[in-house]
Amino acid sequence: MQPRRLNPDFREKIWGATKLSPWFPDSGSKIGEVWFDAGLPLLVKFIFTSEKLSVQVHPDDDYALRHHGSRGKTEMWHILAAEPGARIAAGFRKPLTRQELREAARTGAIEQLLEWHEARPGDTFFIPAGTVHAIGAGLALLEIQQNSDVTYRLYDYGRPRELHLDPACQVSRLGPHPARRDPASEILLACPHFVARRFEVQGGLNFSWRPPGFVIAVSGEGEIGGNSIKTGEVLLYSGENQTISARGDVTLVCASAA
């Protein structure tokens, strides 16, 4: 079955950026997220930041279903570009109690309690549901996630947006989290919700994977199974397991449900 080329959905955010190239044309407004939503259990986003995002957490499937009639949200980030000193946070430097978490969120001390990681192009971070996390400024990244938009904010740097301390403190994991994945692995991430693999095509490459799912061009351009693809484009494949022939000079991330 021929793939379907998905259209990007550009979403303005107060922390977004105007420089979106080379993935998309630069924008006159601050674009924070570019969604590729095919109605599957997975959602693909490109994220661009000029300011810090809120400190936040997502519920797991059970909690989200009971309280929102929704899936939970486990996600991963694959760093595409990073300004010097750009960082992400995931989990805490040491274990906390729920009362300590609530008080730190109220005062802003939570930012110092988080475990911050330098983010470099090619890095991958795993953020399972329940992991308190934050994305810093100066980043472009690919996010692959469960198709859910349930987010609880713990701290927002004084911006006038709603916080969600009660549910956030209920669902948060209260200790350290090993977020960074092995940068040398072809498999960026395999978890109970999805699998993401990275392929470097230089000239030609045949690879097998399991649709339905996404083929995402994160750099370069080429051809996959006779279909052109270039930086920032996403193809949706459905049907049976298949081997795909790729040509050109292009880096691909393929993501499908586990």
Q: Among 171, 195, 226, which residue terminates a domain?
A: 171
Asked whether residue 131 is domain-assigned, the answer is: yes
pLDDT, one tens digit for every residue, the chain (258 residues): 688 999 999 999 999 999 999 999 999 999 999 999 999 999 999 999 999 999 999 999 999 999 999 999 999 999 999 999 999 999 999 999 999 999 999 999 999 999 999 999 999 999 999 999 999 999 999 999 999 999 999 999 999 999 999 999 999 999 999 999 988 789 999 999 999 999 999 999 998 877 889 999 999 999 998 899 999 999 999 876 668 899 999 999 999 998
Q: Are residues 212 and 98 in the same domain?
A: no
pTM of the model: 0.96
What pLDDT was estimated at residue 1? 62
Cα dihedral sign, 74-185-139-252:
negative
Q: Which CATH number characterizes residue 56's domain?
A: 2.60.120.10
Q: Are residues 167 and 47 in the same domain?
A: yes
In whole angstroms, give the CA distance from residue 88 to residue 119. 6
Q: Are residues 108 and 227 in the same domain?
A: no
What pLDDT was estimated at residue 241? 67
Q: Give the count of domains, the chain.
A: 2
3-state class (DSSP) for residue 200: strand
Query: Residue 53 is which amino acid?
Result: L
Q: Among 137, 171, 205, which residue terminates a domain?
A: 171
3-state class (DSSP) for residue 64: helix
Q: Which of 167, 176, 100 is nearest to 133 (CA)?
A: 176
Asked whether residue 85 is domain-assigned, the answer is: yes
173 is catalytic: no
- Residue 130: domain span: 4-171
Q: Catalytic one among 102, 153, 181, 198?
A: 153
First-to-last alpha carbon distance for the chain, in angstroms, is 21
Query: Residue 207 is which amino acid?
Result: F
Q: CB of 179 within 8 A of CB of 34?
A: no
